[in-house]
Amino acid sequence: MEVILRPSAEAAVRLVARIVARELRARPNLVLGLATGRTMEGVYRELIRLHREEGLDFSRCRTFNLDEYAGVPPTDERSFRHWMQEHFFRHVNLRPENVHLPDGMAPDLEAECRRYEEAIRSAGGVDLQLLGIGVAGHIGFNEPLSSLQSRTRVKALTPMTIRQNAAWCGGEERVPRRAVTMGVGTILEARWCVLLALGSEKAEVVARAVEGPITSMVPASALQLHPRCTVILDEEAGGRLALKEYCRWLFENEPEWDAFRREDRP
Ligand code: F6R
């Protein structure tokens, strides 16, 4: 795991957007795994800016979102499809047929989970997977106790996640109780995982995921097993890490980040 600590949320967000932009320019038919949530808002804003001002081209890009609420139609403002449409899809030149989310309204959700796995496989697998982390330690909706080998399936939300997502849905009682999510095993098959976390409320769970033992109690800790996982944090989210100094040093000194460093100091 490579953990990069940036001085501000803006710098962390910009770095994630630039990673996406670089990968997409190198491989225009990139298979991009997407996440929803507050953390990702800035990333999508920056990608939209790069599309408008620097011609970043999504016309051949294929996207797969991590998850979707079960039983919530795409027209409902709580649905991830609706959120993605508003915050990203309608602002860039992605082709509708290249955009994929699980269908939370499918009459047979188990069949839908199998279909989604198959769709990812037939696209050649995810090249770059963007991830956030929930206060409960989830990636996607892989709540604590999720099998670290799980595949796309229906998962019940923990009370902690329901509280986290209450503002999104307009109150705790309006948060759907179940979601279709890529499994931890599905996520681990992406060629590159980039997890972004911002703010002090994520500091404790980030430290457990990154420096703690690998445990299904913190499904994000499974990323420690991934051969290429980059965790990008602002100072607040990295506030509880024992290896803070090292994580700051990496970005400033490792050749891999040279180009990004130069762009950050025009
Ligand atoms: C969303 C998702 C979740 C979020 C996580 C963080 O598609 O898969 O794992 O990334 O709950 O959410 P925010 O960014 O709202 O704190």
User: What separation in Å is there between the alpha carbon of 132 and the centre of ligand 1?
Assistant: 5
Spatial separation of the C-alpha atoms in residues 226 and 240, rounded to whole Å: 22
Q: How many CA atoms lie within 13 A of 243 on its CB side?
A: 16
Q: Which helix (H) or strand (E) holds 231?
A: strand 229-234
User: What separation in Å is there between the alpha carbon of 253 and the centre of ligand 1?
Assistant: 30
pLDDT in tens, the chain (266 residues): 999 999 999 999 999 999 999 999 999 999 999 999 999 999 999 999 999 999 999 999 999 999 999 999 999 999 999 999 999 999 999 999 999 999 999 999 999 999 999 999 999 999 999 999 999 999 999 999 999 999 999 999 999 999 999 998 999 999 999 999 999 999 999 999 999 999 999 999 999 999 999 999 999 999 999 999 999 999 999 999 999 999 999 999 999 999 998 887 65
Instruction: Name the residue with the closest Cα to ligand 1, atom 12.
Output: 37
Q: Where are the domains of the chain?
A: 2-191+204-237
Q: Which helix (H) or strand (E) holds 168?
A: helix 166-169
Chain CA centroid to CA 174, Å: 23
User: What separation in Å is there between the alpha carbon of 255 and the centre of ligand 1?
Assistant: 30
Q: Which atom of ligand 1 is nearest to the CA of 138?
A: 9
Contact between 249 and 257 under an 8 Å Cβ cutoff? The reply is no
- Whether pTM > 0.95 for this model: the answer is yes
* 36, 78, 163, best to mutate for ligand 1 pocket (most atoms within 8 Å of CB): 36
Q: Return the structure tokens found at 114.
A: 């199998």
CATH for 2-191+204-237 is 3.40.50.1360
User: What separation in Å is there between the alpha carbon of 65 and the centre of ligand 1?
Assistant: 11
- When computed from its CA atoms, the radius of gyration of the chain, rounded to whole angstroms, is 17
Ligand 1 pocket by Cβ (under 6 Å): 35-39, 66-67, 132-134, 138-140
Q: Which of 29, 194, 188, 178 is nearest to 113 (CA)?
A: 178
Q: Which atom of ligand 1 is nearest to the CA of 39?
A: 14
3-class DSSP state for residue 2?
strand
Contact between 78 and 169 under an 8 Å Cβ cutoff? The reply is yes
User: What separation in Å is there between the alpha carbon of 36 and the centre of ligand 1?
Assistant: 6
Where are the extended beta strands (E) located within 30-172?
31-34, 62-65, 67-69, 99-100, 128-131, 153-156
User: What separation in Å is there between the alpha carbon of 181 and the centre of ligand 1?
Assistant: 12
Helix/strand number for the chain, H first, E second: 10, 10
106-129 burial string, b = 16+ CB within 10 Å, else e?
beebeebbeebbeebeebeebbbb
